[in-house]
Structure 1
Amino acid sequence: MSFQESQPDRLPGGNPTVFVSYTHDDEQHRRAVREFASFLQDNGVDVVLDQWAEDHRKDWQAWAQKGMTESDYVIVVASDGYRRMGDGNGPNDRNLGGQSEAALLRDLLQGDRRAWTPKILPVLLPGQGIEGIPLFLQPHAADRYAVDAFTPAGAEDLIRTVTRQPRHVRPPLGRTLVLPPESGPGARTEATWTTLPEAIPVHWLPDLVPGHRHRLQPAVELHLVPVEPTARLGIRQLETVRGELASAGRSRRLFSPSEGLTVESSDQAVWAYASSPATVGSGLAVHRSGQRTCWFPATQATLGWLLDRNDLTEQLTDHLGLLADLEIPLPGKFAPTIGMAPTGSVRVGDLSDAAATTASFPVGQPQQVRFDADEAVAVADLRGSARSIAEELAARLTTALAG
């Protein structure tokens, strides 16, 4: 974490100024510091450096005090010499300027730690390690800035800090999400369904996921179709969602922790599904229209496939929560719908009947059942009354299959 995220967008007065504090360990170190200061100067940072000071007799302690207190930041260049002097462990007759500057910084910190902690920036030049930062600057507990090379990429963290250009910008604060209580005063148990003027087009599984087939195993399809979406999802948004489908599906029990998954995309949708060749598996998809979809198999029985209304309700409740929580913008309303295909070997019953060796199947049952997306529910209902929505969808599907 860096303090830069809480700083203003710009420094008052334009270019930032930094005072460079270092110890004269040897000529090679002095040259490296000068090259580093030149790099900063070339990139819009106004540097105060003793090697560039006016060439006349001066009080160096007064010069350092003025430079430190009037600059926006003080950069402390880590080195073995600075660590010794800064911690008070060096010889009294060496690096007198470094001793004076370190003592001043300690005093400034002691006087106003809140103000000076974000202004003093320990910097590790190439080849230097954290052991070169004096203890009073908290090398392990506070930020430090590694400069891998005197290039924008090699010093990006430091440049972003002194120019107050954060890597990640906090988005504006949105409206508080209303989540009704599940019980007690104000609880909502029944969703309000609103009839739409006309049905909204639904992307069913064969069209949503090219090349995906149910084979002979029936799959329940659950779709949340946005009502009057504000905008189509961009390809980059789809790519972001694609990265979370597997983890989201596993965390909400659509996928088991161990089963293999196929994660793919087209220019219109992204999807992930269990890739076992033996079963239809479960899947999760998002379309550019904003439609959110998941599918899962009915229970395999000794004879055919079994759909238990209570069990279906439980699964739909979980999966509605999964779809609602995907990291893409939520519209104000969704049109939930459900379907199943193929249905020829599916019967409605109780899970306890799965092992039965005799069973009856409806005569003339259609090969697929699909309901139009012609009724909408509010997002608040989707979150607060998911079970009510699941019960209604389960009732529609099982009633249609029971003949």
Structure 2
Amino acid sequence: MHHLEELTVVWRSAILPREYRPRGPLVEVHLVPAAPARYGTPELERVRDKLAAEFTRAGSSEGGAWAFSNAEDRGLAVLSTGQRTCWFPFEEADLAKRVADRLHALLDLGLPVPDSLAPAIGLDPVASTIKVAARSVSSPGRIRIGTEDAFSPDELRRTSREIAEGLLARLAAPLG
């Protein structure tokens, strides 16, 4: 792990078509390359084709590949900049395990993995009272926690649970 300057995160709302409207709060998990990375159109199209088997809608452009299932409010995207993103419905039970599992899934997309990735997390929309890390949270709008530390892919895999717990603590902190 190494500490770094905050990196630019492209959030779910900027990736998906405007008509995408989640039914409830979604957790967003992002892995942003700590050094510039680039995926070309052929790589993005391969990801799109792979994701199309798991999701109801999939697409790609020069900027990235994405797929989502409206019925389940979950999805995944890879940007040409190397950022890997996923989102899923917020549920308090086993949230750290679910975030840790998503970190693994983002690493396992069949694309070259950058040497160092910085995780970020968000919750959007937040319109009712929910529990995050044992705190009741009531906040309109969204919560976005940017990058702070970068990890090697091996470190992300090995310590995914601890990384997930740290991300969730940071997500809950501004609301306590």
**TM superposition score normalised by structure 1:** 0.40
The structural deviation recorded for 1:329 is 1.0
Q: Which residue of 2 aligns with 1:321?
A: 104
Instruction: Judge conservation of contact 2:22–2:70 (CA < 8 Å) in 1.
Output: no
Q: Distance in 1 between matches of 2:18 and 2:143?
A: 20
Structure 2 residue aligned with 1:282: 74
Closer, same or farther: CA 245–349 of 1 in aligned 2, 3 Å: same
CA contact (8 A) 2:26 2:125 kept: yes
The aligned counterpart of 1:273 is: 68
For residues 358-397 of structure 1, what are the alpha-carbon distances to aligned partners after superposition, in whole Å with 9 as ceiling and x for unaligned? xx763xx251110122321121211211111111112222
| Mapped contact 1:337–1:393 kept (Cα < 8 A) | yes
Q: Which residue of 2 aligns with 1:239?
A: 45
Q: Indicate conservation of the 8 Å contact 1:206/1:212, yes or no.
A: no
* Secondary structure of residue in 2 paired with 1:199: coil
Greater helix proportion: 1
Amino acid at match of 2:163: I
Establish whether residue 381 from structure 1 lines up as the match of residue 159 from structure 2: no
Residues 298-313 of structure 1 aligned to structure 2 (within 5 Å): 298-299=90-91, 307-308=92-93, 311-313=94-96
8 Å contact 2:116–2:151 — kept in the other structure?
yes
Q: Give yes or no for the alignment of 1:204 onto 2:11.
A: yes
Greater relative contact order, per chain length (Cα 8 Å cut-off, separation 6+): 2
Displacement of 1:211: 2.1
Cα deviation code 1:50-78 (max 9, x no counterpart): xxxxxxxxxxxxxxxxxxxxxxxxxxxxx
Judging changes above 3 Å, is the alpha-carbon distance between structure 1 residues 349 and 392 closer, same or farther for their aligned structure 2 residues?
closer
Q: Secondary structure at the match of 1:225?
A: strand
- 1:222 maps to 29
In structure 1, what is the equivalent of residue 83 of structure 2?
291
Structure 1 counterpart of 2:144, from 343, 353, 370: 370
- CA 1:213 to 1:346, structure 2 compared with 1: closer, same or farther past 3 Å? farther
Q: How many Å separate the matches in 2 of 1:321 and 1:203?
A: 20
- Identity, % of aligned pairs? 40
Cα distance, 1:389–1:376 mapped onto 2, change above 3 Å: same
Q: Deviations over 1:117-175 (max 9, x none)?
A: xxxxxxxxxxxxxxxxxxxxxxxxxxxxxxxxxxxxxxxxxxxxxxxxxxxxxxxxxxx
1:218·1:297 contact (CA, 8 Å) conserved in 2?
Answer: yes
Name segments (4+ residues, structure 1) moved above 4 Å: none
Larger radius of gyration: 1
Tell whether the 8 Å contact from 2:41 to 2:61 is kept in structure 1 after alignment.
Answer: no
Letter in 2 for 1:274: S
Deviation at 1:339, TM superposition (A): 0.4
* Structure 1: gaps of 5 or more residues: 1-191, 251-259, 300-306, 351-359
The one-character-per-residue Cα deviations of 1:8-63 (angstroms, maximum 9, x if unpaired) are: xxxxxxxxxxxxxxxxxxxxxxxxxxxxxxxxxxxxxxxxxxxxxxxxxxxxxxxx
Size of the aligned set, in residue pairs, is 175
* Distance in 1 separating the partners of 2:32 and 2:164: 15
CA contact (8 A) 1:216 1:342 kept: no
Over 3 Å counting, the alpha-carbon distance change for 1:210 and 1:317 in structure 2 is same
Contact 2:96 2:168 survives alignment (8 Å): yes
The aligned counterpart of 1:62 is: none
Q: Secondary structure at the match of 1:331?
A: coil
| TM-score (norm: length of structure 2) | 0.88
Alignment of 1:78-89 (within 5 A): none
SS at match of 1:232: coil
Displacement of 1:195 in angstroms is 1.6
Structure 2 contact 77–86 (Cα < 8 Å) conserved = yes
C-alpha distance in structure 2 between counterparts of 1:210 and 1:269, whole Å: 13
CA-to-aligned-CA distance 1:89-135 (integer Å, 9 cap, x gap):
xxxxxxxxxxxxxxxxxxxxxxxxxxxxxxxxxxxxxxxxxxxxxxx
Q: Secondary structure at the residue paired with 1:373?
A: coil
| Matching of residues 2-401 of structure 1 within 5 Å | 192=1, 194-196=2-4, 198-229=5-36, 231-247=37-53, 250=54, 261-276=56-71, 281-299=73-91, 307-308=92-93, 311-348=94-131, 362=138, 365-401=139-175
